[in-house]
Structure 1
Amino acid sequence: MKIRAGLVVELVCNLLLPWLAYRAALPLWGDVGALYASGVPPIVWSVVQFARSRRVDALSALVLLGIVLSLLMMALGGSPRLLLIRESLVTGAIGAVFLLSLMFTKPAIFYLARATVARERENGDADFEAGWHKWPKMRASIRLMTWVWGIGLVGECALRCWLVWQWSVERYLVVSPVIGYGIFGGLTLWTMWYARQMRQRARLAAAG
């Protein structure tokens, strides 16, 4: 029940409230002002979630980077359609970082996964680091996940940038978050499935 309640609150803050803020501010401040208003609920939600975690790790750093870049683009101004894609540009930049990190020994997903394991159990980061050096299949799997997330995030950015010039501002504001949640949801479900397959293979290898 707690998970469901949290999901409902997240959807309200990221889907319903931005649209309501846009509709309420449009007659008063025009398109640009309404878009500023629509960005407030998701930004507040992200800040609250970060404050509740009380921890700085790789994932939290990415969240803060997205907030800072969004605020910077809003401060610089621009056309309503440019403001609409500010978050997509952040997503695309993160995806590009993922792909560029494949040029190095340890890709971006390595650091995100290590931070997650460190939160779940004591000395998890050290065990994860040891596994990285010990198991070639683990290294190949993490690099594959980095490829998938990098391509997915860059593709999401490209799709939303194309749609923002094809649709009206209000239609994009309503439908775009649904597209984003769908893509992120698909990437997350694939990651959970793939991680489960990795754990099963590791258990079979240990038993064998």
Structure 2
Amino acid sequence: MATVCTMTAITAPQPSAGRARLAALTPLLVDAALPLAGYYLLSKGLGVGTVAALAISSVPPALSAAWTALRRHRVNGLAALTLATTAAGIALSAVTGDPRLMLAKDGVVSSVIGIAILLSAAVGRPLMSAALKPMITKADPARMSAWDRLSRTSAEFRDVERGVSVVWGVALLAECAARVIGAYALPVATMLSVHSLFVIAGVIAAIKFSKSRVERMSALLRSA
């Protein structure tokens, strides 16, 4: 009987590495990448209005949040954050006529994300983990299992995990402040030409200052 069970276990079909990787990345793609890409495609590529583009691009995370709530009885943090950011963008897009306010708008939206990330770290459910987990574990089932285990049992791992979200939250708030100040301190033409640099600088700073924490998480995973 033991031999039969062993042979059954060996011959039972196992999920491929590619399928496991796709499953790990799907939430990040649906809740973050797809809405962002959809917004830029609609607004910049097809000329759809800002409010309409934001509303249409919010459909994937809205469906994801509803699915998670119904099937798993919990809140999908990344999808909820995307929806909150979209709502803020729609509300601010309703204010027109002031070019400086419109330039500052994207910075205010960034602040929504930054605050949400900081709050998630404070309550012990860091939102950046949704992006970090598939990248650090490379969607390897054993490493993903180790991540889940360390998140439950290792105080050091949880501290480092929260630390990454704190760095990103602070970086986004700093980017927001810089963008708002620039919108009112710099000439409109100058701000139009450099406003994307604020985002790039914020992302580079977040990556740089969270690098040591990400490396420590990788080391803990390897030793788990």
TM category (shorter chain) comes to: 0.5 to 0.7
Q: Pick from 83, 95, 98: which aligns with 1:76?
A: 95
Q: Number of residues paired by the alignment?
A: 173
TM-score of the aligned structures, taking structure 1 as reference length: 0.62
Gaps in structure 2 of 5+ consecutive residues: 1-36, 66-75
1:118 and 1:195 map into 2 onto residues whose CA distance is 11
* Segment drifting more, 181-190 vs 123-132: 123-132
Task: Specify every segment of 5 or more residues in structure 1 that has no aligned partner in the other structure, as ranges.
Answer: 1-9, 22-35
Partner residue, 2:123: 104
Structure with the greater alpha carbon radius of gyration? 2
Could you tell me which of 111, 128, 132 is aligned with 1:92?
Answer: 111
Q: What secondary structure is seen at the aligned counterpart in 1 of 2:94?
A: helix
- One-letter amino acid matched to 2:179: R
User: For residues 65 and 188 of structure 1, do their structure 2 counterparts lie closer, same or farther at Cα, with a shift above 3 Å needed?
Assistant: farther
State the match for 2:15 in structure 1: none
**Root-mean-square deviation over aligned CA pairs:** 4.2
1:7-57 C-alpha deviation (Å, 9 max, x unpaired): xxx8xx69xx69xx9xxxxxxxxxxxxxx98x69x969x949x86xx9666
The reply on whether 1:180 has 2:199 as its aligned counterpart is: yes
Q: TM-score, normalised by structure 2?
A: 0.58
- Counterpart residue identity of residue 199, structure 1: S
How far off is 1:202 after superposition?
Answer: 3.5
Structure 2 counterpart of 1:134, from 150, 153, 158: 153
Counting aligned pairs with the same residue, the percent is: 20
Pairs within 5 Å for 1:127-206? 128-188=147-207, 190-191=209-210, 194-203=213-222, 205-206=223-224
